[in-house]
Structure 1
């Protein structure tokens, strides 16, 4: 239950002792949103003068809104109201405003409140929040001024209000949450399955040693009577999960995401109609590209047969009309992915296969080989021999190559092997893989070999059957090598989507959002620092639980782990450490860099032309510099960090509850006992939410938009010599290859998803930006942000220069796609499928 703020009565202020304070109130008006109405009133709390009866700041009388002038702002619009407060001369300076929505049914979206004081002084309240009717909330909506205060330095008049507001946000942990409640609490991932359907039973993620997981936002739905642990879902696709109102998409973004979804569905529907006509397999690469893609300047209309089948397939005539209109107004096919824009065959090359491990959409998995032969976590040695490797290294021995930091591995073996037997009962054919690579003199990587492994066929023990594939360019060996690379790409696609993308960014950040709202007041400087990095994260995660991660959802239908996807990600989370998530620590842990205090940034990269790491370290240093200067502005001594009660409660919430399943590992977290530890912790969090997510998300369509380059599952194993399957491969290698990859339906469904995920929406706020310049009233902080923005612009220039340097072969590769995933795009002018730009938050 939320605490009431507006329970006091005020007598009129005598005219001889009164002053007036005028203000403006700005409300969002697009998409037919409700207006505040005549019954909406505001009250001011003094931030400097205490009412000794309430122990809070003095409270003004209610003041109604007047006017409501509308203005257009691009695709959005606002309405500006006026308000006049009459207060006593000794009222002091306002520190908070309480807004009462007197409407009986409708909420409105409040942008900001601004007050005009004497001597041309203004006070700003940045709101960006829904205000629900008082009848529903039984409380006014409270907003504090945009001045930051540490708990120990909060004006006495605001202390009790600060405490009451935080307690209201925590709730009581009981009951089902209602749309209008601003309550932040934790829960397990127990809402993905349906125990009433045997095919949709899923384990609860989180809260146990066997299934550890980050926490999600609690909704409080009733539990299923079948197992009494799984939260009920109203529908298979459930779009009405509760999240606190302030975490929802803005009205404008909601409309844009829905539009993107309709467009993606259109792109999916038309190829799917082709499936009905032509069958569910692509016959050739050329047919695949012809059926799926079109250039923006070439927008052919869907043929009559496709439209007729579409009419009979959609649920209603109204739906058909909406989809048909979208087919008419937009290209009926997917846009051409970057990876095949310049050359339809370059993706097949070994050079490109290896380059994408350094500059593709999952550049965070490759490691330097530090032990040969590779050994699994259970102590079992790989079947890779020195002869296999050295046959590909000319006159270089393994010992020499390892000593020179020239051997690398993409290892998708240990985490996958325990699940393979179960996964391969789902109608897919998946191996666990190891790929060894050699760093050549020109700075590029050469694939040396691929090991594909399966559990022993007896079904018992931990025995394995492994095959080694070596690079080849002619004959049957070349065909087998191409199939082996595809199986590696399938492994990497699953790891990318489940781990690098979902688990390490989306899921990892949500507990920080919840803890920040629960424990750090909106006036706390660290709250203000982090707030832009949480924009839309809980909303997009809620949608993921609704339609992507749920039993039978899109991820299970398109990615190879199927119903074991979240269970497998839980096993990997069991070894996750927050301290490893900073870019420098991550690079050192993977053996991609070594500590060297004599170099800028203190790191020496073992692959100089590693685009993700080179650009990423520039961005990391910019983030770290901004965060450290920000923290130093408020914390002058380590004791101030250790003594900050809200900050310590926040950190305890994150570690013991939000990521409570990882609290037993002391190396997982830094102690927040120094300014340095605080800055490193916050820099890591900002990095995860902004740059790391950008690096693994916005390249999805550019690389995985062409399914043969990044397949998500396989339907056939690599054939053995002398078998009928081998004969089929030799007779028509491309046909066998395409029949091994996802079918037309699965491929187009996956494309529809990543087309939406790879888009930048028009309301995106990029790294170095703030949604408004009035987020703080401290000029020094605004100057620090300007310096951060300027440093990011310098990073942009360096990225452009590197992409133009012909000596840096990994920047563009055979496919001629420049590496721009960590180009900050401070201006934020480009939207859509740009493959560049670092939004502040995990917002799509």
Structure 2
């Protein structure tokens, strides 16, 4: 004891310990913490178990362990018991102290994490505060760590250093090779469980049911059908065809690596949005079968009644701020927003200011140029129209339209005469937009949530003069149009669905943002990303500025709904764009 005090005073033990911080999120159900798992975890802690971490050297190898990086002693998380779980779905922060002497063990480049609890947890980061000669070292995980008994290997997380494969530290290469083999599933045949971490492609060989007499061709992996591909699940082959994989029942979940599933906040948002959309649609759905024309709208006012009527909630900023401060995300999502009507669908932005503006030619034309599916109106210079896109990348877009198809509508002109007289125009989006996007998902509800503005179905042909439908259209154009487009129950289902798909989650990461600030230690990469983010923020200002320019008629129209679909929302770090905001480009490939 005396020698330890002397060493502490003289600095002899100065670098034998490294202090760090572990940030994780405990398992939860919806957005409530799993108290049952927390109790079991606490008992495990009393029994001497817990969460342990071991540092791995990136600079010094162990000759007795296959020249792998040297491994330090296990260190337990500190204060697991005293860090009580809260009702909110937040992060828990724990201290950790490693017995590690840099002169003997080198600079840490990886860490082994073992979970000896009964439930999994989501590990975000591990940060070493002050490594001699290096400074802070961060290990970015963002991964679910299951109980150690679920794995056949150790969970290893690497520091945020970046390098080419040829520059990989020799001490870390064996660990990197092991990790690659685990992710490929080389030692796991399946069927895979949610804790498995297998990222490997497979062909679509589960579309049919050979055992039931309904085989289907295999898609992918052949000269005729090299694609598509799917994530391997490791399910057993069928009895009658060893090349086909058995299918799951409807109640079973298909394997998706846990780290690729919705996060806890996004799942809470999705469930909340879904429950809210269903409850909002129940009453209108029931009413469809008790009015004089079951299953049909009879007027535009019938459709407006999906959004209005009853109790309108006041739009008071103080109440909205209070709603945002509510601790439970699922409950927060279920609470109606100010300005909406209780138990009604949200009012789409396209009819918020003017319920009839969508019907004007000016607004229709504006949405063609700057709506959910933007197009370009161009003068046709050759016929049939040709695409300039590379067919090997984007497919064959050669037009099959012939002169016979259109000359009957050219008022006696030939196609060539119409071209020479600058009389032919084309609505086109392929060459300009197809390489970049097909649809802007987060604008679907603001524009198409009011179905007459963007009908999904035409149930009847154009009425012929003298027909019953033609007489109805002459007598009551509004009713005739409504009975042509989507039916009442299909409308309610469709609107509810696109409401869910058009909403941003509360933890959305937008283009130009990162969920972890310490995503890399490379100063050049951080500086480049900062320039990219700053450029996007400037674009935000440009979008807002152009929306204010009255001469840019494509930016604002009679509906008074400015074009914000490609507004990056990079500057928003508070989640203000969550829900139906019709703006924000997610840093994601999914809806």
TM range (shorter): 0.7 to 0.9
Tell me, yes or no, if structure 1 residue 840 matches structure 2 residue 587.
yes
Contact between 1:275 and 1:745, CA under 8 Å: does it hold in 2? yes
**Equivalent of 1:59 in 71, 93, 112:** 71
Tell me, yes or no, if structure 1 residue 84 matches structure 2 residue 92.
no
Q: TM-score, normalised by structure 2?
A: 0.79
Tell me, yes or no, if structure 1 residue 803 matches structure 2 residue 547.
yes
CA deviation map 1:559-602 (0-9, x unaligned): xxxxxxxxxxxxxxxxxxxxxxxxxxxx8x62x5xxxxxxxxxx
Q: Go from structure 1 to structure 2 and tell me whether the alpha carbon gap of 1:717 and 1:386 turns closer, same or farther (over 3 Å shift).
A: closer
Match of 1:243 in 2: 256
Tell me, yes or no, if structure 1 residue 157 matches structure 2 residue 175.
no
Distance 1:747 1:247 in 2: 32
**Unmatched 5+ stretches in structure 2:** 1-11, 315-330, 387-396
Contact between 1:368 and 1:409, CA under 8 Å: does it hold in 2? no
Tell me, yes or no, if structure 1 residue 42 matches structure 2 residue 53.
yes
Tell me, yes or no, if structure 1 residue 183 matches structure 2 residue 194.
no
CA deviation map 1:788-832 (0-9, x unaligned): 121111111111111111111111233222111111111223221
SS of the residue 2:483 aligns to: helix
Q: Go from structure 1 to structure 2 and tell me whether the alpha carbon gap of 1:327 and 1:770 turns closer, same or farther (over 3 Å shift).
A: closer
Distance 2:377 2:191 in 1: 44
Match of 2:362 in 1: 351
SS of the residue 2:505 aligns to: coil
Match of 1:716 in 2: 460
Distance 1:74 1:260 in 2: 21
Match of 1:697 in 2: 441
Written as runs of structure 1 = structure 2, the 5 A alignment for 1:779-798 is 779-798=523-542
Contact between 1:294 and 1:336, CA under 8 Å: does it hold in 2? no
Tell me, yes or no, if structure 1 residue 778 matches structure 2 residue 504.
no
Match of 2:394 in 1: none
Match of 2:306 in 1: 291
CA deviation map 1:662-681 (0-9, x unaligned): xxxxxxxxxxxxxxxxxxxx
Match of 1:214 in 2: 228
SS of the residue 1:335 aligns to: coil
Q: Go from structure 1 to structure 2 and tell me whether the alpha carbon gap of 1:106 and 1:74 turns closer, same or farther (over 3 Å shift).
A: closer
Q: Go from structure 1 to structure 2 and tell me whether the alpha carbon gap of 1:138 and 1:374 turns closer, same or farther (over 3 Å shift).
A: closer
Written as runs of structure 1 = structure 2, the 5 A alignment for 1:293-308 is 293=308, 297-298=312-313
TM-superposed CA distance for 1:166, in Å, is: 1.2
Q: Go from structure 1 to structure 2 and tell me whether the alpha carbon gap of 1:97 and 1:253 turns closer, same or farther (over 3 Å shift).
A: same
Written as runs of structure 1 = structure 2, the 5 A alignment for 1:418-817 is 590=431, 592=432, 692=437, 696-817=440-561
Deviates more, 1:137-146 or 1:204-213: 204-213
**Equivalent of 1:25 in 9, 16, 22:** 22
Match of 2:9 in 1: none
The structure with the larger Rg is 2
Tell me, yes or no, if structure 1 residue 360 matches structure 2 residue 371.
yes
Distance 1:293 1:335 in 2: 9
* Larger relative helix fraction: 1
CA deviation map 1:677-714 (0-9, x unaligned): xxxxxxx8xxx6xxx48x61110001110111212222
Match of 2:249 in 1: 234
Distance 1:96 1:170 in 2: 20
SS of the residue 2:422 aligns to: helix
Match of 1:257 in 2: 270
CA deviation map 1:59-110 (0-9, x unaligned): 112222221354899953222222222235410100000111123x421111
Contact between 1:373 and 1:381, CA under 8 Å: does it hold in 2? yes
Deviates more, 1:120-129 or 1:347-356: 347-356
Distance 1:233 1:408 in 2: 47
Distance 1:226 1:341 in 2: 58
SS of the residue 2:451 aligns to: coil
Distance 1:296 1:210 in 2: 59
Distance 1:769 1:17 in 2: 38
Q: Go from structure 1 to structure 2 and tell me whether the alpha carbon gap of 1:75 and 1:66 turns closer, same or farther (over 3 Å shift).
A: closer
Deviates more, 1:723-732 or 1:259-268: 723-732
Contact between 1:44 and 1:60, CA under 8 Å: does it hold in 2? yes
Q: CA RMSD in A?
A: 3.7
Q: Go from structure 1 to structure 2 and tell me whether the alpha carbon gap of 1:191 and 1:252 turns closer, same or farther (over 3 Å shift).
A: farther
Distance 1:368 1:175 in 2: 57
TM-superposed CA distance for 1:146, in Å, is: 0.7
TM-superposed CA distance for 1:207, in Å, is: 4.6
TM-superposed CA distance for 1:197, in Å, is: 9.5
SS of the residue 2:91 aligns to: strand
Q: Go from structure 1 to structure 2 and tell me whether the alpha carbon gap of 1:348 and 1:383 turns closer, same or farther (over 3 Å shift).
A: farther
SS of the residue 2:95 aligns to: strand
Q: Go from structure 1 to structure 2 and tell me whether the alpha carbon gap of 1:55 and 1:389 turns closer, same or farther (over 3 Å shift).
A: farther
Contact between 1:71 and 1:77, CA under 8 Å: does it hold in 2? no
TM-superposed CA distance for 1:370, in Å, is: 4.8
**Equivalent of 1:148 in 146, 162, 166:** 162
Distance 2:458 2:91 in 1: 51
Distance 1:196 1:707 in 2: 43
SS of the residue 2:195 aligns to: coil
TM-superposed CA distance for 1:184, in Å, is: 0.4
Contact between 1:178 and 1:242, CA under 8 Å: does it hold in 2? yes
**Equivalent of 1:337 in 324, 340, 348:** 348
TM-superposed CA distance for 1:40, in Å, is: 2.2
Written as runs of structure 1 = structure 2, the 5 A alignment for 1:195-206 is 205-206=219-220
Q: Go from structure 1 to structure 2 and tell me whether the alpha carbon gap of 1:273 and 1:379 turns closer, same or farther (over 3 Å shift).
A: closer
SS of the residue 1:748 aligns to: helix
Contact between 1:271 and 1:292, CA under 8 Å: does it hold in 2? no
Q: TM-score, normalised by structure 1?
A: 0.56
Q: Go from structure 1 to structure 2 and tell me whether the alpha carbon gap of 1:115 and 1:44 turns closer, same or farther (over 3 Å shift).
A: same
Tell me, yes or no, if structure 1 residue 826 matches structure 2 residue 574.
no
Contact between 2:308 and 2:341, CA under 8 Å: does it hold in 1? no
Contact between 2:385 and 2:398, CA under 8 Å: does it hold in 1? no
Distance 2:311 2:548 in 1: 26
TM-superposed CA distance for 1:282, in Å, is: 0.5
Match of 2:289 in 1: 276
Distance 1:757 1:180 in 2: 28
Q: Go from structure 1 to structure 2 and tell me whether the alpha carbon gap of 1:152 and 1:209 turns closer, same or farther (over 3 Å shift).
A: closer
Q: Go from structure 1 to structure 2 and tell me whether the alpha carbon gap of 1:374 and 1:77 turns closer, same or farther (over 3 Å shift).
A: closer
Q: Go from structure 1 to structure 2 and tell me whether the alpha carbon gap of 1:369 and 1:270 turns closer, same or farther (over 3 Å shift).
A: farther
